[in-house]
Structure 1
Amino acid sequence: MPYTFYDGSIVVIQNLLKTLSHVLHQAEQRPDADSLLTARLREDMYPLTDQIRIVTQYSENLVARLTAREPVNYEGSPLRFAEFYERIEAVLKVANEADKDVVNGQAEVLSPTYVGPQAQIDMSGAAYAHNVVLPNVYFHVATAYGILRKEGVPLGKRDYFVGFFGPPA
């Protein structure tokens, strides 16, 4: 079966969300897990809660765009591990339900896209996925992972790849 736009967008989002959920479950095992919620890599960077907010909102926006519907706009950042999982699962659910043919049909469809608070350009679904959403989602999943590592959560590279290849043996 040939590789499709669906495979390079929706499947990647699903994998990244699974990785994020996995590393958060690892973090939640710690007795002081709640202290991780406000942890940051640096003072001028968003805390863990905002990393989850950004990953899930970008992912929701992409799935919505590629399935020709309006996105759900999540209010605020999730503030507890249970809320992290709830939001991740909500986005995974719509990603899992995305029709492959519909998604593949959106690759070249031009739509107005915000590229800043007030700037808007026409952009294809593929350009939006590969130039806007996926780089941001990878960045914020990696940042969440980095925050947890910095705080002493015993994560390794295999944990980052769980969403792509399954749990370590």
Structure 2
Amino acid sequence: VELLDADSVGANALLAACAHEVGAAVIFTSEHSDKTRGSVAEMRRATEMMAVMGDHPYPKDLGIDLFVLKEKRRRREPGPEGERLDVLPAPEGFIPDPAGNLRIAIEEGWILVGHKGRVFWGRTAADLAAALIENGCVSRLDHAAYLGRELARAETALLLGRSYVQDGRF
């Protein structure tokens, strides 16, 4: 898996299936690089799937799976009802917030937000947003909306074990 530029989850599932087919008693996987972090747990889950498979012709509908970002079936939730209002594109101009700029980063399971010489440490976007508003770090609604988007992106990056760069592509 280390020598393959692909997500480790699927690669581990295929390797576990191959090992099951040939009757291998031992499977080795490593977590040498960032892209294979979590590979041991993935391989364990994949081998559990193969063990549970029993008489099934393939490892599907077993009650356990290796889905990480995708879902087996999408949930269908009805949207809100009411008058439809088509929204125009957001204005392109940047208006600085008089309360100051914020610098967002992630570090070892924490979201960090720097503001005027102070650094707020939190685990969730909601906790940090509340603290920043309470401490007067945001005075404009458009800045608060931007902050919410960026904090949510940072929290998602932590959840997925990804890197985060403020204003960067995810």
TM-score normalised by the chain length of structure 1: 0.21
In terms of fraction of residues, the more helix-rich structure is: 1
Structure of higher CA gyration radius: 2
**Which protein, 1 or 2, shows the higher relative CO under an 8 Å CA cutoff with sep ≥ 6?**
1
